Every structure is written in C-alpha cells, then in structure tokens.
Structure 1
Amino acid sequence: MIAAFALILVCQLFGEVISELFDLPVPGPVIGLGLLFIGLIVKRHPPKVLTDAADNLLIHFSLLFVPAGVGVVTQLDRLRGDWLPITAALIFSTLLAMVLTALLMSKLLPKPKASVGDGDAK
C-alpha cells in the first residue's frame, strides 16, 4: 500500500515539476493525474496494490471535503458579496456536466437490440 501511495505522490511531484518548469496554468496534481492515467493506459491492467490503495481512498473520500469546507467558511464575506455569480456558475456548470455526461453515456453504452415481436404488440 505504501508503494501505491508513493507512486501517486511521485506522479503528483512530476506534475508539479512540469507545471512549474513550463509555467502552465494547470495545477501540478492535475498533470500528475494525467501522467498516472497515461501510465495505466500503457500498462493496460492496474497493479493490485494500486487498486487497493484507490479503494481505501474512496472509502474515506468524504474526509477529503473537510479542507474545502473549511475554506468555504473562511471566505464567507466574499461569498456574501458574490453569491449571485457563484450560484449561477454552480448551477450552469452542474447542468452542463449532467447534459454532457448523458450525451457521452448515450454514445458509449451499447444500444439494446430490438426483438422480432417488440414493434407488433399492442
């Protein structure tokens, strides 16, 4: 498990280095996640220790929202002043994500095959 977490952190470190080295507007952890994704595509099957570590992270996923919640509480004055654009952006981005996800799933999921007698029954 330690090796899997070390791999995740090394990917994040490489992402940070790439982000700083090329002065990219993308955060290092996002680049690191992309590097890990590319590595998993090349390998084809993720190592068991990595899937176990990911499962453990997902079990405790709600704990990762605590820092974000604290950040929101520390910025209440800003939220009070800009509540309308923030709310509009949240609603718009949520609806956009839902529509794009539905479109993507409709393209990726296999279509059900119609049986011979489905259209004739009344």
Structure 2
Amino acid sequence: MLGDIALLFVCLLGGESVHRLAGVPLPGSIIGMVLLFGWLALVRRSRPGLSSATTWLTGHLSVMFVPSAVGLVNEGPILSRYGLALAVATAVSTVLTSVVTVLVFRWTLARVSERGERHA
C-alpha cells in the first residue's frame, strides 16, 4: 500500500511541477490525475493496493477538507466581494450537472434495455 500511496504522491508532485514550471493553466492536481491515468493506461496490471489506498484516503476525506476550509477563511476579502456570484455559479453548475447526469443515465438505460430486447 505504501508504494501505491507513493505513486499517488509522485503523480501529484509531477502535476504540480508541470503546472509551476511550464505555466500550464490547469491545477497541478488535475495534471497529476492525468499523469496517473496515463500511468495506469500504460502499466496494465492489477492494482489492488491502489484500490485499498484510495479506499483508505476516501474514508478519511473529511480530514482533507480542513486545509481547504482554512484557505477559504484566509480569502475573506475576496469572498466578501465575489462570494454571492461564486455561490450562484456553484448552485447552477450543480443543478446542470445533475440534470445532464440524469439525462445520460436515462438514455443509457433505454439503450441497454433496447439492446436486451433485441437479443431476447
């Protein structure tokens, strides 16, 4: 499990390095996720350790939000200026994401049901 956690941190470090050194306009964590995806696509082997590591990290996810909350507290002036717009944008994007997810799920379910009827 330690090696799998190290893989996650190496991908994160690589993403942060690319972000800072190359000036790519994406957060380092997103670049790191792309690097992890690329690694998993290139190295095709079972990763039960990675699964257990991510399950453990997900189980302790609430602890990982503490630095984000502290960071928000430090951005008080910006939040007082743009907070309402950020809240509205977050609410609208959440609703739109939910609607699109439901529509895609219903479309997929209809296609799977249709395929099952043709093969029956």
Task: Work out whether the TM-score is over 0.5.
Answer: yes
**Cα separation, partners in 2 of 1:76 and 1:18, compared to 1, 3 Å:** closer
* Structure 1 residues not aligned, in runs of 5+: 116-122
Cα deviation 1:12-56 (Å, max 9, x = unaligned): 122223333432101222111111112223445541111110110
1:12 aligns with 2:2: no
2:56 pairs with 1:70: no
Indicate whether 1:22 and 2:43 are aligned. Answer: no
- Secondary structure of 1:111's match? helix
Relative to the length of structure 2, the TM-score reads 0.76
Distance 1:102 1:45 in 2: 33
**Aligned counterparts of 2:101 and 2:18: Cα–Cα separation in 1:** 30
Aligned length: 115
The CA distance in 2 between the partners of 1:103 and 1:62, in whole Å, is 30
Tell me the distance in 2 between the aligned counterparts of 1:105 and 1:45.
30
Distance 1:51 1:9 in 2: 15
Name the % identity. Answer: 35
Amino acid at match of 2:9: L
| Matched residue, 1:112 | 113
* C-alpha distance 46-26 of structure 1, shift in aligned 2 (>3 A): farther
1:81 maps to 2:119: no
Instruction: State the match for 1:59 in structure 2.
Output: 59
**Structure 1 residue 108, shift from structure 2 partner:** 4.0
Larger Rg: 1
Q: Which has the higher helix share?
A: 2
1:111 positional shift? 3.2
Within 1, Cα distance between the matches of 2:113 and 2:19? Answer: 44
> What do the CA deviations read for 1:52-100 (whole angstroms, capped 9, x no partner)?
1011001101111111122222333432333321221111111122123
Q: CA RMSD in A?
A: 2.4
Q: 1:46 to 1:18 in 2, by over 3 A?
A: farther
Q: Secondary structure at the match of 2:23?
A: coil
